[in-house]
Amino acid sequence: MDAAGTLANPGLWDILISRVLPQLTAGALGSLRGTCTSLRDLLDNDVSAPVWAAAAPHLLPLPTPASLSLQQPQEQQRSQQQHAAATSSYTNHVTKRTKRVLATCNVLTGQQQKTMVDACGGAQGTEAGRQREDFEFEYGSSSLASKFTKPGNRRYWIGGAAVLALVLLGVSFVWAGREPSVQPRNLPKQVLVPIPTAQLNSGHRIPLLGWGSFTLQGDRCRDATESALRAGYRHIDTAVTYGNEAEVGAGMKPHLEAGRVSREDLFVTTKLWSNQHARDTVVPALQESLKKLGLAYVDLFLVHWPVTDQHGPTLEPPMQETWEGMQDAVDQGFTRSIGVSNFSPEKIDEWFSNARIYPAVNQIEIHPHWRNDRAIQFCKDKGIHVTAYAPLSSPGNMPHFPNDLQDPAVLQVADTTGKTPAQVLLRWGLQHGGSVIPKSSSPTHQEENLGAVGWELSQDDFEAISNITTQLRYFEGSGWAYTHEGPWHNYEELWNEPMSPDQK
């Protein structure tokens, strides 16, 4: 798009006013100041007045193009006294108008306003001031508004729009820093497609590709949440024990307040920690999470682990009591669906067979080095949706375990499909069953991961990854989920299956 088309684009001015101007600083003004002289050169060029008229009404009350004429006025002889009065009048009008525009935007201090006015030639005695005096001598100096409406004075149009153009140039500095491109480099060109969803047994739908926040803290978590939503994610996963619910909420807030994302479009998951399993503490715990998230309800509330903070021979409080509290949360409208995380098939059968509300989701560890086939098949048979955490094998948190992103089988499939290893792993997870929630704080990686939807692995490629022989659970709970005190004393009791040879 050429410069004229850019300036005439109403959307660009909306961006300038709502998102760029509030970010301007004295440093940004300093960068822009040097462009002023070049802009004034436009006064000597034949710029089409209708172009400026199309752009300027977004900020200044300029006349319509119909009121313009490109005919030059005849030169008039004026006395030195008239010339001096004209120069003074013009200077005052430009200075007042420039300050009014900047003050209206409410983004600059008084000193910064003065800097901008001076940069635009508001002070006398500068080269710009002398150019302005020559201009006044040639065209006269009634009010600024009358000069804009006077036929033929296209230079006034350009002069008035110069301030706007000057600030507009700041987009290249400020906007680029605020909205960095998230298109991954050296990646195959992709067209983002809508994320598919699946229906839960609660009747609600869950997006199959989500974004996880495990280990993210502080501003990093807030910014990553904001960029994930901007990239297109609508399924957001957090938990009490992650310690980042408030930051996740802060990242969602600007999108919700600006209307870029509606609450109904989001699918937000949080989890109940092990010290809040008593029935009368479940709902208050969720209410505290909602306060931090800034939401009236979550879409999914999970029991994080089948353990409590009370070690002993039996699980206390009993899981049936905890589940009563989870059902209370549904009845009171604080969550739409409830489920579990890290629960074995046997524990689900034992505790929930007669539950009034059956678990909608079991969130468990799944990746090519831990396929978790038995749990997936059980949940499929019972109508429980499976969400895979650590679908990329969590190399950042488990550096001593195999890194699926570097597995030869995954790299081979990535090469043949023209996809990245991460996209291949996530695509495998989606085809293996359920939804996936990869964690990434990088906008580039977040958008890269979205490339897992809209295509499928061939059967041969899927089987090549599924046949990775090494199998071991990365998040196996040793030292806290099972201890010598009980109720789960070892791996086998917690997971209701023997430890794999690779685990030992």
> Which residues fall within 8 angstroms of residue 16, CB to CB, at 6 or more apart?
167, 168, 171
d(CA 45, CA 56): 18
Token digits of residue 336? 């739409």
Residue with structure tokens 């619910």? 245
CB 447 within 8 A of CB 183: yes
Token digits of residue 433? 């069953």
SS3 of residue 415 by DSSP: helix
DSSP 74: P
CB 448 within 8 A of CB 227: no
Residue 236: phi and psi, rounded to 5, are: -120, 130
Token digits of residue 282? 């479940």
Token digits of residue 476? 């196996």
CB 175 within 8 A of CB 15: yes
DSSP bridge partners of 492: none
Length of the chain: 504
Angle ∠(397,398,401) on CA atoms, nearest 5? 165
CB 178 within 8 A of CB 239: no
Strands 435-436 and 211-212: unpaired
d(CA 418, CA 416): 6
**Is position 389 annotated as part of the catalytic site?**
no
Angle ∠(295,298,299) on CA atoms, nearest 5? 140
**CA distances (Å), 428 to each of 88, 359, 394, 457, in order?**
73, 25, 16, 7
The residue from 90, 242, 389, 482 that is catalytic is 242
User: Which residue type occupies 175?
Assistant: W
Neighbours of 373 (CB within 10 A): 13
d(CA 378, CA 178): 46
SS3 of residue 305 by DSSP: coil
CB 349 within 8 A of CB 356: no
Q: Which of 377, 402, 398 is nearest to 476 (CA)?
A: 398
Give me the active site residues, please.
Answer: 242
